[in-house]
């Protein structure tokens, strides 16, 4: 006879702290090899449990993007949650939940928070990356005060509490309720609640006939949105099954970067540049919070996408009453600001990372938010949301009967065009990357007034709701003619340092609005090298990724 699970006591495992557990832009990301080292994952989970506020007796959510180590990590977290005295965990079947679905689950069920197992757009597999994010009770990523508290705990931990394996195991594939010691585990359909939310926001009745007459192609990149896209686009909206490609989630994402941009979604790009291109092409990332929007031979920049959604929101049932305001991350182009100004609503500029939008959304100051890194979202959850953005575009096309090029043309003719590009220099030697960044920081006051630069600073953000301050969020060089260069270090990489250079130039509505962005920005890109010298100092001939 097995001993009744309730009577097996937790064990305390002694372990010195790991000193490298500071969460970055979006959770803690490391190589799988690091996360799989004995006690590494468990120690960070203990830091979350101790640092994130009182979770004892409460209910949280747990799910991930299905990447390699997702199941192993889930099993450890469940045994630790039981040991910590958490009352209940709601888990996506198979350990799967997209990031926006976790956000929705936390909000809909008023949970204390949620743990998301994902390194998002980073590659997966045994040689790839793994990550853990913690979301708080509003459904959004933990704010800096919480991630810093978690980090502080991680620095002084002396061990963790866990139920022994003999206490039993949870079958992640079996829907319904199971018990692990005093912990109740509810396994739920990862898609159902999320799909219901989408039906509330968008006009499915209008989108169905449009999808009979027009083709779309959604690339799930072998990541978490496969089952979501199949349920929503194919089953509920009636698109043919061939509308979703790479729909089956894989542990290693088919050995690709699950990063929806023109550089990494090669197959989709080829289909959209072919003669028989579908009307709309789209892709999402590892954990389903990013989106890329394409029309035939046209890639919509994420900054433009945010502006288009803001300008047309009232055509969508969920936003028919109008939007309160718009927020964008600092490096994101100012296209959305132009729309906000025209609509007479507030616009906000926040540091990079979705956690900075939470307070503005909670305070009802903004309805739409976006980042240049293929992230768009609204107050329906507290995360960026990939499929939501695709459905928004679909609904917009069905409502206006305009195609993607026509929508963009009309937008630029009304607001002008913010030519925009991001150049990434990946896996640089950290010392060199810091030299470049600090070298520029040291020259900021010299630069003002030279090269036509009007403002040169290191972005500092004071949250308008709780007044918290975040410093050193990226260097801005703003020119008198409105041009903008931004330089910052990535906070999601796991190898060396990645520098991101963001380049923006505004073309008024009467200018040539159909140039290739790299051509339109060539002069400014040259100036960036003169002033910052990334190539000169790093020895790299060109960026690794241009989007
Ligand atoms: C990147 C993006 C940022 C985004 C973050 C998380 O961060 O630039 O805009 O919020 O990834 O996205 P960084 O620090 O590497 O520039 V996800 O979809 O990877 O969670
Ligand atoms: Co993501």
120 among known catalytic residues? yes
- Counts of helices then strands in the chain (DSSP H, E): 19, 26
353 lines ligand 1 (CB under 6 A): yes
| Percent share of the chain, pLDDT over 90 | 96
pLDDT tens-digit map of 464-517? 999 999 999 999 999 999 999 999 999 888 888 999 999 999 999 999 999 999
Catalytic hit among 74, 120, 243, 303: 120
285 lines ligand 1 (CB under 6 A): yes
pLDDT tens-digit map of 372-428? 999 999 999 999 999 999 999 999 999 999 999 999 999 999 999 999 999 999 999
CB 397 within 8 A of CB 279: yes
Q: Which phi and psi angles does 19 have, rounded to 5°?
A: -85, -5
pLDDT band at 133 (very low <50, low <70, confident <90, very high): very high
Per DSSP, the three-state class of 205 is helix
Distance between CA atoms of 467 and 461, rounded to whole angstroms?
A: 9
Predicted local distance difference test score (pLDDT) of residue 314: 98
225 lines ligand 1 (CB under 6 A): no
Closest CA to 93 of 1, 196, 186, 224: 186
* Closest residue CA from atom 10 of ligand 1: 353
**Closest ligand relative to 492 C-alpha:** 1
Written as six digits, the tokens of 478 are: 């703003």
Distance between CA atoms of 376 and 326, rounded to whole angstroms?
A: 11
Predicted local distance difference test score (pLDDT) of residue 2: 44
Written as six digits, the tokens of 426 are: 């990946």
**CA 118 to ligand 1: nearest atom:** 20
490 lines ligand 1 (CB under 6 A): yes
CB 312 within 8 A of CB 408: no
Dihedral Cα 192, 196, 202, 208, nearest 10 deg: 60
Average pLDDT of the chain to the nearest whole number: 96
Within 13 Å of residue 12, how many CA atoms lie on the same side as its CB?
A: 5
Distance between CA atoms of 330 and 1, rounded to whole angstroms?
A: 61
pLDDT tens-digit map of 325-369? 999 999 999 999 999 999 999 999 999 999 999 999 999 999 999
331 lines ligand 1 (CB under 6 A): no
Dihedral Cα 231, 235, 238, 242, nearest 10 deg: 70
What is the per-residue DSSP string for 35-46?
HTSTTHHHHHHH
Predicted local distance difference test score (pLDDT) of residue 6: 54
According to DSSP, residue 416 is labeled -
Give the distance (Å) from ligand 1 centre to CA of residue 486: 15
Distance between CA atoms of 397 and 65, rounded to whole angstroms?
A: 29
Alpha carbon separation from 486 to 400, 423, 436, 519 (Å, rounded): 35, 10, 13, 19
29 lines ligand 1 (CB under 6 A): no
- Residues making up the chain, counted from first to last: 547
Give the distance (Å) from ligand 2 centre to CA of residue 56: 29
**Tokens 């550089």 found at:** 263
Sign of the CA dihedral with 513 first, then 519, 521, and 524 last: negative
Give the distance (Å) from ligand 1 centre to CA of residue 358: 16
* Closest residue CA from atom 18 of ligand 1: 120
């Amino acid at each position: 006879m097995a001993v009744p699970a309730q009577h097996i006591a937790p064990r305390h495992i002694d372990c010195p702290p790991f000193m490298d557990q500071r969460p970055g832009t979006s959770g803690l990301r490391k190589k799988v090899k690091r996360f799989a080292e004995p006690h590494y994952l468990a120690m960070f989970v203990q830091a979350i449990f101790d640092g994130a506020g009182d979770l004892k007796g409460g209910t949280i959510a747990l799910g991930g993007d299905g990447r390699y180590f997702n199941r192993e990590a889930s099993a450890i977290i469940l045994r630790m949650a039981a040991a910590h005295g958490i009352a209940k965990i709601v888990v996506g079947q198979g350990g799967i939940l997209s990031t926006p679905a976790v956000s929705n689950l936390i909000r809909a069920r008023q949970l204390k928070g949620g743990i998301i197992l994902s390194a998002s757009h980073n590659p997966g597999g045994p040689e790839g990356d793994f990550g853990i994010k913690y979301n708080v009770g509003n459904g959004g990523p933990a704010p800096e005060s919480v991630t810093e508290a978690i980090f502080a705990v991680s620095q002084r931990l002396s061990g963790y509490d866990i139920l022994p394996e003999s206490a039993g195991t949870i079958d992640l594939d079996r829907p319904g309720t199971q018990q692990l010691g005093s912990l109740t585990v509810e396994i739920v359909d990862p898609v159902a609640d999320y799909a219901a939310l989408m039906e509330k926001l968008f006009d499915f009745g209008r989108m169905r006939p449009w999808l009979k007459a027009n083709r779309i192609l959604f690339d799930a990149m072998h990541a978490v949105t496969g089952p979501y896209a199949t349920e929503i686009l194919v089953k509920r909206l009636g698109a043919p099954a061939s509308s979703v490609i790479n729909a089956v989630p894989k542990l290693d994402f088919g050995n690709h970067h699950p990063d929806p941009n023109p550089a990494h979604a090669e197959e989709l790009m080829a289909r959209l540049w072919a003669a028989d291109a579908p009307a709309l092409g789209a892709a999402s990332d590892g954990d389903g919070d990013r989106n890329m929007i394409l029309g035939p031979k046209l890639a919509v920049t994420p900054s433009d996408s945010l502006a288009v959604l803001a300008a047309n929101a009232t055509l969508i049932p969920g936003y028919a009453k109008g939007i309160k305001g718009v927020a964008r991350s600092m490096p994101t182009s100012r296209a959305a600001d132009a729309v906000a100004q025209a609509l007479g609503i507030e616009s906000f500029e926040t540091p990079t990372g979705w956690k900075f939008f939470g307070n503005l959304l909670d305070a009802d100051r903004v309805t739409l938010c976006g980042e240049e890194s293929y992230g768009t979202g609204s107050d329906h959850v507290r995360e960026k949301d990939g499929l939501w953005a695709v459905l928004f575009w679909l609904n917009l096309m069905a409502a206006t009967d305009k195609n993607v090029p026509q929508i963009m043309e009309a937008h630029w003719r009304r607001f002008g065009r913010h030519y925009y590009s991001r150049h990434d220099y990946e896996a640089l030697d950290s010392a060199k990357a810091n030299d470049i960044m600090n070298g520029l920081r040291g020259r900021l006051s010299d630069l003002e007034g030279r090269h036509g630069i009007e403002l040169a600073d290191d972005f500092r953000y004071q949250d308008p709701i709780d007044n918290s301050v975040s410093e050193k969020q990226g260097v801005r060089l703003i020119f008198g003619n409105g041009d903008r260069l931004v330089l910052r270090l990535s906070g999601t990489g796991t190898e060396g340092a990645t520098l991101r250079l963001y380049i923006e130039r505004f073309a008024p509505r009467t200018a040539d609005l159909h140039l290739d962005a790299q051509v339109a920005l060539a002069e400014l890109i040259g100036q960036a090298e003169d002033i910052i010298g990334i190539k000169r100092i790093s020895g790299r001939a060109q960026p690794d990724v241009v989007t």
